[in-house]
Amino acid sequence: MPTRYSKRTSRKDQEEDSTFEDSGVGWINRLNQAIDDLQVNRTSVREESLVSIINELSRHYAAEPLQRRNEELLTLLRRSLSKPGSAKESALAAQAITINFISHGELGLSDQDELYQQILPALKNTAKNANDILVKCNCLHTLALITLIAGSDIDTQFARDFVFDLIETDGQDFNTEELSSQHTDQLMCMGLRAYGILFIATFYEGVVDPNVLWEEVEKVMPMHELLLESGDKDVRTAAGENVAVIFEILRIIIKSEDDEEQDDEEVYKNDYQYDNMDELIHTLRELSVESSRRQSKSSRAEQKSIFRDIIKSVEDGVPPIEELKISGRIISFRGWSKILLLNAFRYIMGQGLHLHLRSNDLFRQIFRYRASYIQTTDNNDDSGDETDKFNRMSKVDRQYLYDESKKMRSKQLRDARNRKMS
């Protein structure tokens, strides 16, 4: 199992979205047959049906076909998740649960709270008690994403605390005694990624109390600092990306609270300064230039690239940008909050993500872009401006444009003063 998501920053993703055959109703028949097969007693049949469900839901937007069978499907998936004896079935069931919640789009969110409450205990119990590392990791990932999609504020807080308990105790209550050190690192990496998703779900949008946010930062940052020193590259990377998203959101929330006539950056530095900030910056800088021969050349290059983006964001407030090219059109994702969520959905859906970005209104709600994408042009100088015109503004986008505008005004004032002096 891959232990980290593919992260591609500050470039256009040239991967074309997958072309799937069968534009008729054949896939709906296959989906219904696969749901029926989940009731068969034979384990191998259920495993095959789960693979089919995952494939069909990833490759098609199935909100309407699923509507009448949603509760039935979730009941069967919960049963497969909790069945003893087949780790493969449990791992596939966790993945299918995520894609099922995704497949209902924005319109189904109001109906999913009850289903979320029904599936939540099974996910937590399986994450804690399963012996197989893939099952544990899939349950944590599913828990984070369906909480993002369907959880209330209090649900999100409880899920975040549940995942941070795993991180803070090194999996003490998660049946890790028989896990190898490699598998323990995989579990810790997925715990960090799940925590990042839940942190974003809590603090990225809506009304946020900066004092509550700051309490969370002070609570979790020491553990993240410790994990930046992990011997596993993926754990270091996951911890670093969480640090980046935490300070990105903190900077935006605190600045939004400031009086416009005050110096925003000074208020941020004086009132919400992390005590160990200098040591944290030092650690991030070291990771951005590390040349240890204990890692392969490609691993060193990947770590350097990611931590260069992280240090730019934490120290200077510069957000990373990723662009996906879909059918000749571009969607921009600015900031760690969007990019980490994009990677989380990519991890669970693979190439099916491209289709859902086009068709699924849930993704337009989460990533705040419009249904019509900007057409690629040969004028590279204007592409960023044009993309912003079509994007709905997230907090990171608004802050970015505000900062750029502020820099431009400052430059114009300096130029005007210089002209007067000359």
pLDDT tens digits for range 181-221: 999 999 999 999 999 999 999 999 888 999 999 999 999 99
Closest-CA residue to 321 (of 10, 2, 3): 10
Mapping DSSP to helix (H, G, I), strand (E, B) and coil, where does residue 360 land?
coil
What is the C-alpha to C-alpha distance for residues 27 and 22, in angstroms, rounded to an integer?
A: 7
Q: What gap in Å lies between CA 357 and CA 347, rounded to an integer? A: 14
Q: How far apart are CA 338 and CA 360, in angstroms?
A: 16
Token readout for 243 is 């640090």
Q: Which of 190, 182, 187, 200 is nearest to 248 (CA)?
A: 200
Under the banding of pLDDT at 50, 70 and 90, the label for residue 380 is very low
- Using CB atoms within 10 Å of the CB of residue 30, give its burial: 0 to 12 exposed, 13 to 18 middle, 19+ buried: middle
Amino acid at 397: D
Q: What share of the chain is helix, strand, coil (3-state, %, to 5)?
A: 70, 5, 25
DSSP-derived 3-state class of residue 76 = helix
List the structure tokens of 141: 């990932």
> Which residue carries 């039935």 as its tokens?
72
Considering the domain 12-323, what is its CATH architecture? Alpha Horseshoe (1.25)
pLDDT at position 295: 75
Consecutive H or E run containing 236: helix 233-257
Instruction: Identify the bridge partners of residue 391 per DSSP, sorted by sequence position.
Output: 369
Amino acid letter, 137: C
* ∠ CA 241-245-250, rounded to 5°: 150
Helix, strand, or coil (residue 325): strand
**CA 72, CA 79: separation in Å to the nearest integer?**
11
Q: Is the pLDDT of residue 9 over 80?
A: no
105-161 per-position pLDDT tens digit: 865 555 788 899 999 999 999 999 999 999 999 999 999 999 999 999 999 999 999
Joined tokens for residue 274: 């992390």
The CA distance from 374 to 376, in Å, is 6
Which two three-digit tokens encode residue 420?
Answer: 């007067």
Q: Which residues contact 294 (CB under 8 A, 6 or more apart)?
A: none
Q: Which of 103-107, 138-142, 259-263, 324-328 has the lowest mean pLDDT?
A: 259-263
405: Cβ contacts below 8 Å, ≥ 6 apart: none
CA distance 249 to 252: 5
Instruction: Give how far Cα 264 sits from Cα of 47, 78, 251, 277, 396, Å.
Output: 55, 49, 9, 18, 15
Report whether pLDDT(74) > 80: yes
The residue behind tokens 């090194």 is: 170
Identify the band that residue 312 occupies on the pLDDT scale cut at 50, 70 and 90. Answer: very high
**Token output for 348:** 């669970």
Of the pLDDT bands very low, low, confident and very high (cuts 50, 70, 90), residue 259 is very low
Residue of 254 and 405 predicted with greater confidence: 254
Neighbours of 155 (CB within 10 A): 18
Q: Is residue 57 over pLDDT 60? A: yes
Instruction: Check residue 395 and give its pLDDT.
Output: 57
Measured CA to CA in angstroms, residue 188 lies from 35, 124, 179, 283 at distances of 33, 16, 12, 20
Domain locations in the chain as residue ranges:
12-323
